[in-house]
Amino acid sequence: MDINNTALDKIALSTSIFCAMHCLFLPVFLLFFPTINLGQFGDESFHSMLLYLIIPVSLIALLIGCKEHKRYFILFYGFIGISILFSTAIWGHDFFGETLEVIFTLIGTSIVSYGHIKNQKLCRENNCHH
């Protein structure tokens, strides 16, 4: 199966956005529907599971794109955003509290998403074939 870089960027971008929406709306959802059992979606380990998807897909997509369009600063956005997401998922709740955990997750997601959007744009501009 041949998955191109645009598809990988879209998967990583979608997963990052899903992570941000989970952080923003899960507390509100639980406030209005406290008796609903969300299973794994309500668990803190859910962020870690999302990272298992976000990290490899993001790195592969950004590396493939950078190899083609030769704009390696895009990797910086991916690295910074993933580092923030990783740090927040591992230590955020214990060290920063719930509010700062959500803020840092949104910041990390925004940075990773920007990197993928920029990567897609550069690939279109340079007519990359990968």
pLDDT digits (tens, 9 = 90+) for 35-71: 666 555 556 667 677 788 888 888 888 888 888 888 8
- 102-129: burial string, b at 16+ Cβ within 10 Å, e else: bebbbbbbbbbbbbbebbbebbeeeebe
The answer to whether the beta carbons of residues 77 and 108 sit under 8 Å apart is: no
pLDDT of 76: 93
DSSP 70: -
Per-residue pLDDT, averaged over 105-110, amounts to 89
Q: Where are the domains of the chain?
A: 5-30+45-125
Helix (H, G, I), strand (E, B) or coil at 33: coil
The fraction of the chain above a pLDDT of 90, given in percent, is 11
CA 117 to chain centre: 12
pLDDT digits (tens, 9 = 90+) for 87-98: 888 887 778 787
Per-residue pLDDT, averaged over 97-111, amounts to 86
Residue 14: band (very low, low, confident or very high) from pLDDT cuts 50, 70, 90:
confident
- Under 8 Å CB-to-CB from 85, ≥6 apart: which residues? 16, 19, 47, 51, 54, 105, 108, 109, 112
